[in-house]
Amino acid sequence: VLVDVGKRSGKHSAAQRFINRRLIHAARQYNTVVRLKGGDPMMFGRAQEEIDALHAAGIEVEVVPGITAALAAAAQSRISLTARGTSRHVSFVTPAVGNGEAASDWTEAACAADTAVLYMAARHASQHAQTLMQAGRVSTTPVLYVEAAGTAKRRQHCCTLADVALGALDSIQGDGPGLIMMGAAYQRALEQHKSITQHRDDNDANASEYRQVHG
Amino acid sequence: VLVDVGKRSGKHSAAQRFINRRLIHAARQYNTVVRLKGGDPMMFGRAQEEIDALHAAGIEVEVVPGITAALAAAAQSRISLTARGTSRHVSFVTPAVGNGEAASDWTEAACAADTAVLYMAARHASQHAQTLMQAGRVSTTPVLYVEAAGTAKRRQHCCTLADVALGALDSIQGDGPGLIMMGAAYQRALEQHKSITQHRDDNDANASEYRQVHG
């Protein structure tokens, strides 16, 4: 028996209270019920609400850890979240708030850590980048944007925080959930990206010159 | 062929430069070489140094993500690192520095996040707790100490940051690597721990009264 209560980036999903009730109902009906989530359930996964609801109903719970998006993105990009000397702490933050929830002050945690990873932030990326720059994160901070981390559809883009504030991610966003990672850890990736872009622009310039001459 | 360059909590381990050379040497000798690490390689795993050394030697690298200690500890304790309203950001921090490395200012990142996880901090736990309290983390902050997270030998202890500063973790530490997790996420665990301890003390008191009467 498979029941889909799936969440999709930006799409309407089943209310948490409904999911909790559904889980308790299923647990009373079957010996073993698996609640499958993407990423790691204990990191922005609303696991606590489900665990608490099940405990309150006297149902035993085992939690199996998973690969949270930031770790999947790090592995695929081959850029470590931490590195000696340059990135010695990491924060996982979300500016997203649930219905009826007060906006949290997420900027302090995102500014204080060498590497900051923003979950569920891609949709309003430019606004969040502006907020971060106002809070003190420098505009030249390298950003690695990773979409659909951990899947074969993964795409990534490198730019600065100022670029994000100016809308750099708005045009390239697809359907998958996007992760905004930032900090000195991505400095080298940014430089490589720039030199590739520069190289391509030079080639394009040469090509159009060529076309002008020979076209 | 298995080469052990293993790190053990507090024990002497092979120098990183030696490990890098050993990896390059092995990659030239064999088609496939697996560099196995505990936890996730991209989180306090020195992966970047190994990836860079291999890239510089022209050797292709694939990174397979893993379960970092904090996620393993969260799953085993059934306490989510994030929870709506109470813990909306998480920081992963270490006060440990390598040989010849300057002490990083890790306290800001550990104070700014609702949930802070300290890696490689158990050995000097009381000192680190004092540092954090001086930096502004309140003394009543609930702490969950988890040793050997993700293994069957896991042990955990709940107390406050002030308790840690007073040496609460010093006597209970075993051989496994310890994780110091703190924040409002552990408030309920702390209260449960207190009420169990209180209950046990009451029972002990009753027992000794009983012995006094009947002994």
Least Cα separation, residue A105 to chain B (angstroms) = 9
Question: B90-118 as b/e, with b when 16 or more CB fall inside 10 Å?
Answer: bbbbbbbeeeeeeebebbbbbbbbbbbbb
- Residue B42 scores a pLDDT above 50: yes
Instruction: Answer yes or no: do B84 and A46 touch at CB < 8 A.
Output: yes
Least Cα separation, residue B37 to chain A (angstroms) = 13
What's the pLDDT score for residue B97? 81
Name residues whose C-beta falls within 8 Å of residue A108's C-beta, 6 or more positions apart in sequence.
A135, B112
Kindly identify which residue of chain A lies nearest to residue B73, measuring between CA atoms: A65
pTM to 2 decimals? 0.90
What's the pLDDT score for residue B212? 42
Q: Which residues of A touch B66 (CB under 8 A)?
A: 67, 71
Name the nearest CA neighbour of B39 among B92, B109, B89: B92
Least Cα separation, residue A40 to chain B (angstroms) = 8
Query: B89-93 and B178-182 as β-strands: parallel, antiparallel, unpaired?
Result: unpaired
Task: Evaluate the CA torsion angle B198, B200, B204, B210 in order and state its sign.
Answer: positive
What pLDDT band is residue A204 in, cutting at 50, 70 and 90? Answer: low
Instruction: Answer yes or no: do A65 and B67 touch at CB < 8 A.
Output: yes
The tens digit of pLDDT for each residue in A46-105 reads: 999 999 999 999 999 999 999 999 999 999 999 999 998 889 999 999 998 877 777 778
- Residue A115 scores a pLDDT above 60: yes
Q: Which residues of B touch A42 (CB under 8 A)?
A: 71, 74-75, 79-82
**Placement of tokens 């400095």 in the chain:** A187
Torsion-angle region of residue A137: left (phi > 0), alpha (psi -120 to 50) or beta? beta
- Residue B22 scores a pLDDT above 70: yes
Task: Evaluate the CA torsion angle A65, A67, A68, A74 in order and state its sign.
Answer: positive
**Is A100 touching B (CB cutoff 8 A)?**
no
What's the pLDDT score for residue A210? 43
The closest CB to that of A104, out of B64, B88, B94, belongs to B88
Beta bridge partners of B87: B83
**Is A152 touching B (CB cutoff 8 A)?**
no
- Residue A6 scores a pLDDT above 80: no
What's the pLDDT score for residue A8? 62
Strand order in the sheet with B89-93: A155-160, A142-147, A178-182, A115-118, A89-93, B89-93, B115-118, B178-182, B142-147, B155-160
Mean pLDDT (chain B) is 89
**Is B73 touching A (CB cutoff 8 A)?**
no
Instruction: Answer yes or no: do A80 and B106 touch at CB < 8 A.
Output: no
- Residue A180 scores a pLDDT above 90: yes
The tens digit of pLDDT for each residue in B61-87 reads: 999 999 999 999 999 999 999 998 889
The tens digit of pLDDT for each residue in A23-43 reads: 999 999 999 999 999 999 999
What's the pLDDT score for residue A209? 45
ipTM of the complex: 0.89
Name the nearest CA neighbour of B42 among A174, A76, A34: A76
Question: What is the C-alpha separation between B39 and B150, in angstroms, rounded?
Answer: 9
Kindly identify which residue of chain A lies nearest to residue B106, measuring between CA atoms: A89
A with B: how many residue pairs have Cβ under 8 Å apart?
A: 160
Paired tokens of B195: 């009420």
Span B138-165, average pLDDT: 96
Least Cα separation, residue A56 to chain B (angstroms) = 14
**Is A92 touching B (CB cutoff 8 A)?**
yes
